[in-house]
C-alpha cells in the first residue's frame, strides 16, 4: 500500500522491527500457504489480505476514526461485535500468534503464561502492531486467569475496559452476563457519543449473523469428501474474520463457498479422499500461528474442522435471534447467544464434550488432535474429561501442548506422524 510507512510512522510503530516482522511473516506465509496444490481460486482474496496485513485494514480503521468512528480491540469471542458496530465502531480481534514480540513483554509478565497473551502484550508494549495503535480502547474479559490479570497491566499502555464473563451458566449467571452486555452497550454509547437504536442494532445483528452464516457454510462444505479446501486455508479464513470488514469478508467467503460447492459437486478435492481427516479441538490459533495445521497437512493428512475460537466457537451455536425489535429484547438475544459458546472457562462445560464427539462424526474425522497452548489451564485440565469421553466412543485422540516457537516442531511432527499411522 502506498504511504504505509508514513502511516506507521505517524502511529509510532517501531519501523525497524515492523519490517523484520513483516518479512518473517511473509516468508512463513509463502512457505506454508503458497506451496499448497489445488487451492481454490477464491483464496486469492485472502492471500491479498495477508499480503497487506499491516496496511490496508489499519488504514481503513484510521480513516474510520478520522470520520469520527471508534475502533475497539477485542480478544475473545464473548465480546459482542454487534454492539461495537451498532455504536458506529469497528471491532477488531487483537489476539496475537507470534513469538516475535515475547521479548517485549518479558520484563512485565511471567514466563509461565500462555503465548497468546504474551504475544499480544508484546505487540502493544513494543509498538509493533498498527492494529493496536489504531484502537481507541480495548475490551478485555475475564475468561481465563491469564487474560483477566494481564488486562490490568494493559491498562497502563492503552485504556482497557473489562467485561465479566461468568463461570457457570445457571440463571443467576445469565442475569449477570445480560447486565454486562447492557453495561457494554452503555460504554460504547458513551465512548462514541451515539445512541444505539433498535433499528441500527437490528441491522448489525443481521450483519454479524451473516458473517456467521458464511463461515458455517464454509465449514459445512468441509464435511464433504474429498475435501474441497485445505484446513490451512479454512483456518486462515476464520482468522481473517476477526479483523476484516464484515461486509466484504462475508461476501468474499460466500464467493469462495460458491466455488467450493462446484468442487464438491464435481468430486474435486485438495487431497486424496483417503487422506486421514483430523478434527482439531482446543485453544485458538491466531495469525500467524499455522504451526499445527502445517505439520498435519505436510504429513499426508488434512484438517477437516477446528473446534476452537478461531473455528466453530466463533460462529456455531444458533445465531442471534433476529425477531426482537426493542433494545432490551435484542440485548437479551445477544446475551443468550454468546453464553451458549462452549469455552473451557465455564464449569461444567460438558456440552463442549458432546459437541466434539458430534463434530468428529459430522466431519468424518479419523482422529482428534487436542491442541492446547502451553500454560492454558482451562483447556489443559479439561482434556482429561474429553479423553474419557472420546475413549468411550472409540475416537482416536492425540494431545499436543505447544507454544509459538519452532523448537518442538520436529518432535511434534514425529508424534503426529505416529498418530496418523495409528489411525489410517
Binding site for a copy of itself (CB under 8 A): 108-110, 112-113, 142, 144-146, 148-153, 162, 164, 166-168, 172-173, 175-176, 179-180, 344-345, 347-349, 374-375, 377-378, 380-385, 401
Helix axes 198-221, 246-265, angle to 10 degrees: 30
CA 13 to chain centre: 24
Reference 162, options 179, 146, 176, 180; nearest CA is: 180
The least distance separating a copy of itself from the CB of residue 77, rounded to whole angstroms, comes to 17
Residue 283 touches which of ligand SF4, a copy of itself, none (Cβ within 5-8 Å per kind): ligand SF4
Considering beta carbons, is residue 20 or 175 the nearer one to a copy of itself? 175
Residue 142 touches which of ligand SF4, a copy of itself, none (Cβ within 5-8 Å per kind): a copy of itself
Considering beta carbons, is residue 317 or 372 the nearer one to a copy of itself? 372
Considering beta carbons, is residue 152 or 272 the nearer one to a copy of itself? 152
Considering beta carbons, is residue 180 or 366 the nearer one to a copy of itself? 180
The least distance separating ligand SF4 from the CB of residue 110, rounded to whole angstroms, comes to 12
The least distance separating a copy of itself from the CB of residue 14, rounded to whole angstroms, comes to 22
The least distance separating a copy of itself from the CB of residue 21, rounded to whole angstroms, comes to 25
Residue 373 touches which of ligand SF4, a copy of itself, none (Cβ within 5-8 Å per kind): ligand SF4
Helix (H/G/I), strand (E/B), else coil: 70: strand
The least distance separating ligand SF4 from the CB of residue 346, rounded to whole angstroms, comes to 11
Beta pairing, strands 160-163 & 277-282: unpaired
Neighbours of 5 (CB within 10 A): 14
Contacts with ligand SF4 by CB under 6 A lie at 114, 116-117, 143-144, 146-147, 283-284, 373, 376, 378-379
Spatial separation of the C-alpha atoms in residues 375 and 348, rounded to whole Å: 20
Spatial separation of the C-alpha atoms in residues 292 and 287, rounded to whole Å: 12
State the Rg of the chain over Cα: 21
SS3 of 350-394 = HHHHHHHHHHHHHCCCCEEEEEEECCCHHHHHHHHHHHHHHHHHC
Amino acid at each position: 500500500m502506498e504511504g504505509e510507512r508514513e502511516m506507521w510512522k505517524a502511529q509510532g510503530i517501531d519501523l525497524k522491527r515492523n519490517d523484520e516482522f513483516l518479512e518473517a511473516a511473509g516468508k512463513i506465509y509463502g512457505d506454508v500457504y503458497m506451496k499448497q496444490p489445488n487451492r481454490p481460486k477464491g483464496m486469492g482474496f485472502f492471500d491479498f489480505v495477508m499480503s497487506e496485513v499491516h496496511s490496508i485494514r489499519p488504514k481503513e480503521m484510521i480513516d474510520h476514526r478520522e470520520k469520527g468512528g471508534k475502533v475497539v480491540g477485542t480478544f475473545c469471542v464473548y465480546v459482542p461485535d454487534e454492539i461495537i458496530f451498532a455504536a458506529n465502531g469497528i471491532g477488531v480481534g487483537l489476539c496475537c500468534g507470534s513469538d516475535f514480540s515475547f521479548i517485549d513483554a518479558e520484563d512485565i509478565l511471567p514466563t509461565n503464561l500462555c503465548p497468546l497473551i504474551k504475544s499480544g502484550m508484546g505487540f502493544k508494549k513494543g509498538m509493533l502492531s498498527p492494529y493496536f495503535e489504531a484502537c481507541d480502547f480495548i475490551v478485555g474479559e475475564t475468561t481465563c486467569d491469564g487474560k483477566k490479570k494481564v488486562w490490568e497491566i494493559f491498562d497502563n499502555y492503552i485504556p482497557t475496559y473489562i467485561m465479566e464473563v461468568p463461570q457457570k451458566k445457571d440463571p443467576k449467571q445469565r442475569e449477570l452476563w445480560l447486565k454486562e452486555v447492557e453495561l457494554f452497550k452503555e460504554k460504547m454509547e458513551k465512548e462514541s457519543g451515539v445512541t444505539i437504536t433498535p433499528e441500527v442494532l437490528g441491522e448489525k445483528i443481521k450483519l454479524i449473523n451473516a458473517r456467521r452464516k458464511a463461515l458455517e457454510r464454509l465449514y459445512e462444505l468441509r464435511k464433504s469428501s474429498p475435501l474441497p479446501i485445505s484446513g490451512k486455508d479454512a483456518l486462515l479464513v476464520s482468522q481473517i474474520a476477526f479483523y476484516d470488514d464484515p461486509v466484504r469478508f462475508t461476501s468474499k467467503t460466500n464467493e469462495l463457498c460458491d466455488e467450493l460447492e462446484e468442487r464438491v459437486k464435481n468430486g474435486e478435492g485438495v487431497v486424496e479422499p483417503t487422506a486421514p481427516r483430523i478434527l482439531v479441538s482446543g485453544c485458538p490459533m491466531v495469525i500467524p500461528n499455522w504451526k499445527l495445521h502445517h505439520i498435519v497437512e505436510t504429513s499426508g493428512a488434512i484438517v477437516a474442522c477446528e473446534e476452537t475460537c478461531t473455528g466453530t466457537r466463533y460462529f456455531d451455536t444458533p445465531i442471534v435471534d433476529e425477531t426482537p425489535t426493542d433494545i432490551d429484547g435484542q440485548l437479551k438475544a445477544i446475551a443468550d447467544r454468546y453464553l451458549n459458546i462452549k469455552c473451557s472457562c465455564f464449569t461444567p462445560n460438558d456440552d463442549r464434550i458432546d459437541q466434539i464427539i458430534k463434530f468428529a462424526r459430522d466431519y468424518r474425522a479419523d482422529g482428534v488432535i487436542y491442541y492446547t497452548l502451553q500454560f492454558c489451564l482451562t483447556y489443559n485440565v479439561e482434556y482429561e474429561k474429553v479423553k474419557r469421553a472420546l475413549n468411550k466412543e472409540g475416537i482416536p485422540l492425540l494431545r499436543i501442548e505447544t507454544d509459538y516457537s519452532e523448537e518442538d516442531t520436529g518432535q511434534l511432527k514425529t508424534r503426529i506422524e505416529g498418530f496418523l499411522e495409528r489411525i489410517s
